[in-house]
Structure 1
Amino acid sequence: MAACKVCEEPLILEVEDDENEGQTQQVPDDLQLGCGCHFHWSCLMDQASDLAMSLKCPACQAQVATNPAGPSVTNPFLHTSSGMTIPTKYTNEGGVQDNFDVLPSVTEEAYLAANPEARPARAFHVMCGEGDVGGIVELLQDLEQDETSMSVGKLIRYQDPLAANKTGLHLAVEKGQEEVIWLLLWLASPLATELFPEAALAAAQSMGLQQRPSNSSADDIRAFQDSQGRTAEAVASGLGGVLMKVVEAGVLHPGA
């Protein structure tokens, strides 16, 4: 059996046995690069920073990317070729995945290793897309008490370089998460309080958010643009559907 090129241990993991409490079972964990070298998933992710920069196998130094190109001038972890991949064969508990592109995971891990303060911001973005209002409020409350983390204001307005510079508002609009949209407008825009629906005001009060932060036009999350130059309002207008009433009300328009 092949062994991991980093830790030299067998390509298996010990996990809890769902059927037998207190016991473990072995499951495969084998990520094979195109050069033929094998790694545990976590072991390869530990090498993510070097791999994202060099696009070479950490063990044999063979080129493992297809259609390789140089790194972005603004972000060394983002490569200029949009069609580039690192194809692998990944075998885990769920089965075998041929031609599994590990580059997005490697890029994300490398970016977060260099920017650890972005971890809660990316978690925040996931919550925005999923409509997890309770999780968002809990995360913001935790950050207020953690002086070493990104400030609440910066987190709410965070633009993700790994996701086309979108804000949480862009993601909430894309996923049609109206409750999150109103929450972000409450926290990160100067939109007049009387323009919020009663349900949104009641929700803010129930979550202990009666006091709105002071937001200038320069801090207005509605003015932030993604990498295609689109505001959240432009995204909503393009999608149409259930959010058109929000667009037509003008509440997503910067400065409104």
Structure 2
Amino acid sequence: MADLKGKSRATTTPADGCALCSLPLLVPQEPSSDIEDDEDEETPSHLIDDVELPCGDHFHWDCLMNASKISPVDKLRFCLFCRQQAVTIADDGSEKLLVHVRNEGGLTSNFDLGEEIRSEIAFDSNPHLRRTEAFLSLMSQDDLETAEEMLRGEDGAEPVDPNSTYEEGGLTALHVAAYNNNVRAIELLLRYGAQKDKRSNDGASPLDCASQVEAWNAVQVLNS
């Protein structure tokens, strides 16, 4: 389930269960053996797992996601239970499946579930995309040790391409490291074949990025 952290706690719990599986929306929580009991803070015995569509029908997160893998995405334009239209039309003409999500993080309103579903379907059909996203996320978090394991293929899969790009902007991890003046990340990426002359969608090289923000340590490494 997506990690959605709302700003406010859900104040109400829908009385009915999931419209697909009919099981309660309050899911029993398994006690954690890693966390010591705190006498001053009670651990809830149940957690809410609820996705509310615009029509008012409620579903478990996994029930909707699993159903989306069986039915084409365009069929999810309508509620799987009552068949009312579920999508809204944005100003640019695109369709959005905006829902309310209640979970342990609270309430997240107007979450675009349609975009989440499309991403999951893309990842399932092409596991390479999921590895690419994981690698780029590790690099952005400066988790270089784990990122290097993926570059080597030590995680049991094919080595990840150091020139993988973010979906938006066409930036590589080397572009981002240059922006951040992160010399360690730059040196790591270059060792595994990152291309200094790789261009983003707007034509910028990693060196251009470093020069733009006056990241002189990065400039020196990229010029060497």
* TM-score, normalised via structure 2 length: 0.71
Corresponding residue SS for 2:127: coil
Aligned-partner Cα distance in 1 for 2:179–2:192:
19
Segments ≥4 residues shifted beyond 6 Å: none
- 1:124 deviates by 0.6
Q: What aligned pairs does 1:45-124 form with structure 2 within 5 A after superposition?
A: 45-49=65-69, 50=71, 52-54=73-75, 56-57=77-78, 59=80, 60-67=82-89, 85-124=96-135
Correspondence for 2:16: 2
Greater alpha carbon shift after TM alignment, 179-188 vs 121-130: 179-188
Corresponding residue SS for 2:19: coil
Distance 1:20 1:173, change over 3 A: same
Aligned-partner Cα distance in 2 for 1:125–1:82:
31
For the Cα contact (< 8 Å) 1:89–1:100, is it kept in 2? yes
- Cα deviation digits, residues 130-165 of structure 1 (max 9, x gap): 000111122334x2574xx4x42x52222343x443
- Cα deviation digits, residues 76-135 of structure 1 (max 9, x gap): xxxxx5976432111111212222233442232121011122222211111010000111
Aligned-partner Cα distance in 1 for 2:67–2:85:
15
Aligned-partner Cα distance in 1 for 2:108–2:155:
42
- 1:30 matched to 2:50? The reply is yes
Q: Which amino acid aligns with 2:120?
A: E
Aligned-partner Cα distance in 2 for 1:12–1:128:
37
Instruction: Give the one of 210, 215, 236 matched to 2:210.
Output: 236
Structure 1 or 2: more helix by fraction: 1
Taking only the aligned residue pairs, the percentage that are identical comes to 25
Higher relative contact order (CA 8 A, sep 6+): 2
Aligned-partner Cα distance in 2 for 1:110–1:87:
18
For the Cα contact (< 8 Å) 2:181–2:217, is it kept in 1? no
- Matched pairs, number: 201
* TM-score, normalised via structure 1 length: 0.64
Aligned-partner Cα distance in 2 for 1:168–1:27:
37
Corresponding residue SS for 2:29: strand
Instruction: Give the one of 151, 159, 165 matched to 1:159.
Output: 165
